[in-house]
Amino acid sequence: MTSFSKVLEKIMCQRLLKHININNILVNEWFGCRSDSSMEIASYNLVNEILKALSNKSKVGGISFDLEKAFDFVNQKNFVIQITVLWNNRKYVYFN
């Protein structure tokens, strides 16, 4: 990657994150790309939710995925279309 490309990528990333934050696009539970969040905060919230569920005698389960290179082989055009459809339909679950 050239120096110009790296600078351009950094600028675009900053602008995209600013747009996401201003328009409140990500749910509060999304920790991945926010500057004011960390893995420690995400882990704390997860453990806290598990402990609350256990204290209420609820069943607790979990599934973990390693997505390190998951998007290297994704058709980006189809991915954007699918994310847009999901966002518009809002068929996802919040864990509060």
What is the domain partition of the chain in residue ranges? 31-64
Q: 86: helix, coil or strand?
A: helix
Q: Which amino acid is at 54?
A: L
SS3 assignment for 46-80: HHHHHHHHHHCCCCCCCCCCCCCCHHHHCCHHHHH
pLDDT by 10s per residue, the chain, length 96: 678 888 888 888 888 888 887 888 777 767 666 666 777 888 888 899 999 999 999 988 888 777 777 767 777 777 777 777 777 766 554 444
pLDDT for the residue 91: 52
pLDDT confidence of residue 1: 61
Indicate the DSSP class of residue 2.
Answer: -
Task: Express each pLDDT in 54-63 by its tens digit.
Answer: 999 998 888 8
Cα radius of gyration rounded to whole Å, the chain:
17
Tell me the pTM.
0.45
Contact 27, 43 (CB under 8 A): no
Q: What is the DSSP secondary structure assignment for residue 33, as one 8-state letter?
A: T
